[in-house]
Amino acid sequence: MAKGFVAITAERCKGCGFCVEFCPTRVLALSSAFNSKGYHPPHIVSAEKCSGCDLCGMYCPDFAIFGGRYAR
Amino acid sequence: MNEATLEIPYEIPEGARNPVEPFLRMDRMPHIWCAGCGIGTTVNCFTRALLDSKANLDKVAIVSGIGCTGRVAGYARLDSFHTTHGRAIPFATGLKLANPELQVVVYSGDGDLFAIGGNHFIHAARRNMDLKVICVNNMIYAMTGGQTAPTTPATAITATSPYGVSEPTFNLVALAEAAGASYVARWTTYHVKQLARSMEEVLKKKGFCFIEVISPCPTLYQRRNKMGDGLDAMKDYKAKSKVRNGAPTGECTLSKTGEIVVGKFVDRERPDYLELLKAQMIESLGDRYVEPEEACCSEC
C-alpha cells in the first residue's frame, strides 16, 4: 500500500520532465500520449512506491502536479 | 487527452488540492512561462514558505518589475503590483513607508533589478529598507529576446553578442553584501527545499533581505549556447552546485560552465530605515516628536 499519492492535471503540463527526473522513488514517467497543447504529460508507473513527499509539486513550474500523504 | 482519460491507479483523497492553488489567480493559468523555465518552481517554493511561516496573507504584498519574472505579481493571489521597468524597489519602498505593517516582497528578474533598476537596489540595501528581494536570475534579458544582461557570463552567445560576451559579469551576492543587505543567499531552482526554507527565514527577518535564484532559460539562454533544455540545466545545477554556507561572497562569481556556489552567505542584524529615521527624529525633535498616523484604517 502506497503511503502517498500524486495528482496530475495533464492539461496544464508542459512536459519539462522535472517531476520525472527528481522523483526520489521513481514513481513517474513521461507518457507517450499528448495533451491538447501537444506536450507529453507524466503518468504514474509505480504507484505503490509513492511516499507522498510532494517534491514533484515543488519542482513543477506549471503547477500541474502535486503529491500528498494518505491520512492514517 | 483530458483529465478523465488519465489513468490514476488509486484513489485521490476527496478535497485534496494543489497547495499552490490558493495562492494563484487560477483563471490566468496556464501561465506564459516556457516549458522548462524555472520561475514557476520558485513560485512553488515561495508559496510553501508563505504556508510554513504562517504569514498573514492580508499583510503580504508582492511588487514586480517588468520581465518574465515580473509576471509573478500578476499570477499571485495576494496584494500585488506590476510596476514599471526597474522600479519595483522604489514602489516597494513607498509601499513599506506608507504602511509599515505590510510585509513587502519584491519578486523580479536580474535585468529588472540589476540593470535597469541597479541604482535603486544598492540604495535600498544601503538604507536597509525592510524589503524581501527575490531575484530570479536567468542570466539574460529573456522577455525581450535574449539580449546580453549584466549577469550574462563571459563567452555566452546572446542576441546582441553573437561572438560571445566579452564583459565581466555582476556578482549579485557580493554586490548585495557590499551595499549593506542584512540577509544574502543564493540557490538554484534545483534546491527547492533549501530555497523554501530561505524564503521562510526572510519572511521572518527584518531588514533588507536578498535571495538570488539561478533559473534555467531554455528558450533563449540555453538554446543559443547549445546547453540543452530546462531539464539539462537542472541536471547541470545538481552536478555543479556546491553548498558553502557563509562563504565569502567575493569568491562566488558565476561563470558559464564553472561551479555554482550556493548557500546562505550573510545573515546579520542592522538597524533598518524606519528605526534609524525614528531615532534621528527623536534626537533632533525631542518632545515635539509624534508618531505618524497609521495609513490603514482600524478595520483592516
pLDDT digits (tens, 9 = 90+) for B25-45: 888 888 899 998 999 999 999
pLDDT higher than threshold 60 for residue A9: yes
Are B1 and A22 inside 8 Å of each other by CB? no
Looking at residue B1, its pLDDT comes to 45
Q: Which three cell numbers stand for residue A29?
A: 514517467
Confidence of residue B2 (pLDDT cuts 50, 70, 90): very low
Contact A44, B22 (CB under 8 A): no
Are A16 and B39 inside 8 Å of each other by CB? no
- Give the CATH class of B29-271: alpha beta
pLDDT tens column, A12-27 = 899 899 999 999 999 8
Q: Is B161 helix (H, G, I), strand (E, B) or coil?
A: strand
Contact B87, B55 (CB under 8 A): no
Q: How far is A5 from chain B (nearest CA, A)?
A: 7
Are A60 and B31 inside 8 Å of each other by CB? no
Are B6 and A57 inside 8 Å of each other by CB? no
Are A12 and B235 inside 8 Å of each other by CB? no
Looking at residue B8, its pLDDT comes to 59
- Chain A positions in Cβ-Cβ contact with residue B6 (cut-off 8 Å): 8, 10, 41, 43
How would you classify residue A62: left for phi > 0, otherwise alpha for psi between -120 and 50, otherwise beta?
A: alpha
Q: Say how far apart CA B240 and CA A49 lie, in whole Å.
A: 29
Q: What is the model's pTM?
A: 0.90
Q: How far is B37 from chain A (nearest CA, A)?
A: 7
Are A62 and B3 inside 8 Å of each other by CB? no
pLDDT higher than threshold 70 for residue B53: yes
Q: How far is B33 from chain A (nearest CA, A)?
A: 8
Nearest CA in chain A to B48: A58
Nearest CA in chain A to B41: A61
Mean pLDDT to the nearest integer, B198-214:
92
ipTM for this prediction: 0.91
Bridge-based pairing state of the strands A42-44 and A28-30: antiparallel
Contact B114, B140 (CB under 8 A): no
Residues of A with CB under 8 A from a CB of B: 2, 5, 7-12, 14-18, 21-22, 33-36, 39, 41, 43-44, 47, 54-55, 57-63, 65-66, 68, 70-71
The alpha helices in B109-169, defined as continuous H runs, are: 110, 118-127
Are B40 and A47 inside 8 Å of each other by CB? no
Percentage above 70 pLDDT, chain B: 94
Q: In DSSP terms, which residues pair with B188 in a beta bridge? A: B214
Domains and their CATH numbers in chain A: 4-69 (3.30.70.3270)
DSSP labels, chain A: --SEEEEE-GGG-----HHHHH-TT--EEE-S---TTS---EEES-GGG-----HHHHH-TTS-EEEEEPP-
The domain spans of chain B are 29-271
- Chain B positions in Cβ-Cβ contact with residue A14 (cut-off 8 Å): 30, 34-36
Q: Say how far apart CA B82 and CA B3 lie, in whole Å.
A: 33
